[in-house]
Structure 1
Amino acid sequence: MSRVLPLILLAILFQCTNLAPKYVRPEKPVADDWQAEIQSTQTQVYADLAWRSFYRDSQLQTLIERALQNNRDLRVAALNMERVRALFRIQAAEQLPQFEANGSASYRRIPGDLAGSEHGIETHQYGVNLGLLSYELDFFGKIQNLKKGALEQFLASSEAWKAAQISLVSQVGLAYVNLQVDGARLELAQKTLEAQQSALNLAQRRFELGAASALSVKQAQISVDSARVEIAGLNRQIGLDQNALELLIGQPLERNQLRALPIDADLLLTDLPAELSSEQLLGRPDIQRSEHLLKAANANIGAARAAFFPSIRLTASGGTASASLSNLFQSGSGAWSFVPQISVPIFTWGETKAKVKVAKVDAEIALSQYEGTIQTAFREVADGLTTQTFIKDQIQAQQALVATAQESLRLSQARFERGVDSFLNVLDAQRSLYAAQQGLLSVQADRLANHVRLYRALGGGWDAHSSAATAAQP
């Protein structure tokens, strides 16, 4: 015991040695605040707002719930997290001594001519042992840093899972918005077709009475045919929208049960926080993931540096051995062994140094990726805030354009009926109104889609209070 005690004390002394660089969070490569004029009374940060509170439509909420349960990409992200969790536990076990118990029995018979006696010799041996498997004393923090790196890898996979859920919730929201918008476009095209069909009927009657030319009839027919082409294309697009939604929710969609909503329906929250700081953005799962990977790379430098120094391993066993099973636990049957082993690197031909270089370069790569993730997040939020600031004015201007186009069509029809203008002016007014109405739908769709993207950009979509949140623990 007096020989082992100095080794134990030395191990305790060197447990405090860690060759990994001290981690300091890098400075943010972005401004501290967004300079955007936002009119809002909402002060709650959207990252803390559960998606059920953000997406108000019950039909959309049901689709999101089904996607979270059945989406294959999200399932893969969860399985990747479970895999990395198991790898972390394997690495964590390396820091602790491992013991093994075993029992043995051997029987031997040596022939007489080999044993030098008239009769053969039989020997029996029984043994019971408790052994310490090869245990490395972590003098220079190699195992500790490997464990730290594995932990950070697991935490990164956990954040990747959260980011996958946020992305999925956003994708379902956007797919649903696209489906509703295309449904509204189809409804508009059908109403336009009805109006153009009425105009065609009027042109034909006037042509039969000699009050209109054949050209006006053909022009009206072109407008009707164009509307039918538009309707066919929109029906195709709606089918594609439904296919995309089915892929996201991971199961067949009850297409006939999806109700259509007005494009300006209150599907989403409309207010955003009045003030936003870039510090709040650091809580986004993708940014957290990048930082955990940076910490893992930092720990790997320490593990690589430890290879320059000696490695000490201990192997020990103790138990009993006897030629008779009945005497196995009698006094004097004890047996033990203790095998310390030290390995000192001498000539590695630059391999160890190159491994440290690789670890440092990996850390630089992780740093650049971390900074790039922050800059991307900043850009996404800045784009969303900029769009929100000006899109309301754009909608109001587009609504005024629609009203003007409607009045222009009314005047054109009245002048045509009095014989003042040709029918071509009516067709032009119809096309202008349809284009203005399509433009209004597009801007309204952009507004809804921007809210979905901005909610995701702020880190919204992950429910920290859900039962799934507890799964993201080591």
Structure 2
Amino acid sequence: MKTLKNRWAILAAMALPIAGCSLEPSYERPGPAVPGQFPVGGPYPALPVSGAQPVRYTDIFRDPRLQTIIGRALANNQNLQVALGNVRSARGQLRSARADLLPSFTGLAGASVARNRGAAQGFGGAGGGVTQIYNASAGLTAFEIDLFGRVRSTANAALNEYLATEAGVRAARLTLVGETASAYYTLATDRSLLAIAEDTVRSAQRSVELTRARLQGGIIGRTDLRQAETILQQARADRADLTAVVAQDRNALELLVGAPVTDAELPQSIETADPLLAELPAALDSRILLARPDVVQAEYTLRAANARIGAARAQFFPSISLTGLVGFASNALGSLFTNSGFTYNGGADAGVPLFDGGFNRGNLETTQAQRDIAVAQYRLTIQTAFREVSGALARRGVIAEQYAAQLALQEAAADTFRLSDARYREGIDGFLTTLDAQRTLYGARRSLALTRLVRADNLVTLYRTLGGADLVPEASIAPPDAPRGSEVLRGER
């Protein structure tokens, strides 16, 4: 039995992976190619430099109805389900690549019976010319010793691709939250515009009735009646259009949520939804962009491309594969598992690339080009993020002044319309002055509602472009500076 144990030890040692060198290029994060801080001065708000962290959507969107809708969208949205499916697919590919790091054993068992008509007595000593063979074995099939890190580089590439896909899910969730909030505020604004149109229809209808009565009394001409009808018909047309738009807004919101939305969950108006928005923290610097999910995804993609260079370089060097078989064979089932029935064999094959027609060199050039493309895409992703945040900050710096001006304009237009209408009723002014005042008020009310939407959308854009911190548990995606290779593999559950 001691000899048997020694044989098993020898074969087990042959199956262990031999640590080899890695031919992967040393990874260094590319410079972001953007300024260290966001623009200041002019339309931009004053931002003290600090390491502010991404905010949670519940800190910005404090409307309980909107929070409920966002939660349902994160659970039901079909585009997000596609992204989650991609994560499961990448996880499977990672496990397949990781499996190549370990030997694969296969167990076999069999029995055969043969009759030799020309033999006087069988090999087994029973049944005349009948031969019986029983066997049970375990084999090691072509396990590659990773001398030059090809298998490990391939596994590292698969790991980074998996992490990039997980970061992509976070990016999809961030986009979904932004689109859902934007659709919510768009619906609220269109409901406000519809209410303004309905209010204007009622006001214009009263003006038409008054003008018609004065026309019948011979006080005014027919022109005043026609002028009064213009604002009425315009408001009626807007009301019909906005009725359809509100229905379309609701359909768009339900598509994002992935389920019907009840009337109780819908905003009544932008005037009721807008006050439930909170301001973003004022202290920001551009380093926050490195945590944005699409930037994280781009860096993991770059790391994967860097690892594939190591695998391509290893193709130029020899490869060694181990094979082995241990088991038992006997012509009698009862004596199968005995020392006399033990059998084993092992071997090693070495392959050296002699001539491949330039395949390996072309493969290396391809992987190097893909790495260069990934570097450019990583930098472009950061530059795009910087532009998006800078543009949103430029709007944020002036939106308060714009809103105050629109509010003052509506108040002035409302007062002008009241005075003009009173003067027309007293016969002091013609209806044209009242008509102009009513049109100005109608436009001012619409502009104020749309300015509220711009303010809400600006905060949605800032939240989305700065990157949310609450969409994926922190432990589910390793940060870009996390330990690589086997340390990450061992740490994954």
TM-score w.r.t. structure 2 length? 0.88
Match of 1:421 in 2: 429
1:126 and 2:134 matched: yes
**SS of residue in 2 equivalent to 1:463:** coil
**SS of residue in 2 equivalent to 1:253:** coil
Q: What residue identity is the alignment partner of 1:33?
A: Q
Aligned equivalents of 1:113, 1:448: Cα separation in 2: 96
Distance 1:175 1:287, change over 3 A: same
Distance 1:406 1:42, change over 3 A: farther
Indicate which of 116, 126, 143 corresponds to 2:151.
143
What is the root-mean-square deviation of aligned Cα atoms in Å?
Answer: 3.2
Distance 1:114 1:357, change over 3 A: farther
Aligned equivalents of 1:61, 1:270: Cα separation in 2: 13
Matches within 5 A, 1:101-120: 101-112=107-118
Contact 2:270 2:449 in 1 (8 A): no
Match of 2:26 in 1: 22
Contact 2:324 2:346 in 1 (8 A): yes
Indicate which of 281, 284, 296 corresponds to 1:288.
296
Distance 1:431 1:461, change over 3 A: farther
Distance 1:469 1:238, change over 3 A: farther
Aligned equivalents of 1:259, 1:173: Cα separation in 2: 11
**SS of residue in 2 equivalent to 1:103:** strand
Distance 1:126 1:10, change over 3 A: closer
- Shifted more, 8-17 versus 23-32: the winner is 8-17
Aligned equivalents of 2:312, 2:456: Cα separation in 1: 50
Match of 1:226 in 2: 234
Match of 1:303 in 2: 311
Return the offset for 1:82.
Answer: 0.8
1:369 and 2:369 matched: no
Match of 1:172 in 2: 180
**SS of residue in 2 equivalent to 1:56:** coil
Contact 1:166 1:462 in 2 (8 A): no
Indicate which of 33, 36, 39 corresponds to 2:40.
36
Aligned equivalents of 1:126, 1:5: Cα separation in 2: 25
Matches within 5 A, 1:382-397: 382-397=390-405
Match of 2:321 in 1: 313
Distance 1:4 1:371, change over 3 A: farther
Return the offset for 1:412.
Answer: 2.0
Match of 1:453 in 2: 461
Gaps of 5+ in 2: 479-490
Which digits, 9 at most, give the CA deviation of each residue in 1:86-138, with x for residues without a partner?
11011101001111222221111122179999x96221111121211210000
Contact 1:268 1:451 in 2 (8 A): no
Return the offset for 1:329.
Answer: 2.3
Match of 1:157 in 2: 165
1:277 and 2:281 matched: no
Indicate which of 332, 335, 339 corresponds to 1:327.
335
Aligned equivalents of 1:169, 1:157: Cα separation in 2: 18
Return the offset for 1:417.
Answer: 2.9
Match of 1:346 in 2: 354
Distance 1:466 1:56, change over 3 A: farther
Aligned equivalents of 1:44, 1:266: Cα separation in 2: 28
Match of 2:194 in 1: 186
Return the offset for 1:183.
Answer: 0.5
Contact 1:43 1:272 in 2 (8 A): no
Match of 2:71 in 1: 65
Contact 2:47 2:284 in 1 (8 A): no
Contact 1:54 1:269 in 2 (8 A): yes
Contact 2:149 2:311 in 1 (8 A): yes
**SS of residue in 2 equivalent to 1:332:** helix
Indicate which of 408, 427, 449 corresponds to 1:441.
449
Gaps of 5+ in 1: none
Contact 2:69 2:265 in 1 (8 A): no
**SS of residue in 1 equivalent to 2:271:** coil
Q: What residue identity is the alignment partner of 2:281?
A: P
Query: Identity over aligned residues, as a percent?
Result: 36
Match of 1:200 in 2: 208
Distance 1:468 1:365, change over 3 A: closer
Aligned equivalents of 1:373, 1:317: Cα separation in 2: 52
Return the offset for 1:45.
Answer: 7.8
Aligned equivalents of 1:328, 1:8: Cα separation in 2: 22
Distance 1:361 1:323, change over 3 A: same
Moved over 4 A (4+): 1-14, 37-48, 113-117, 464-470
Match of 2:89 in 1: 83
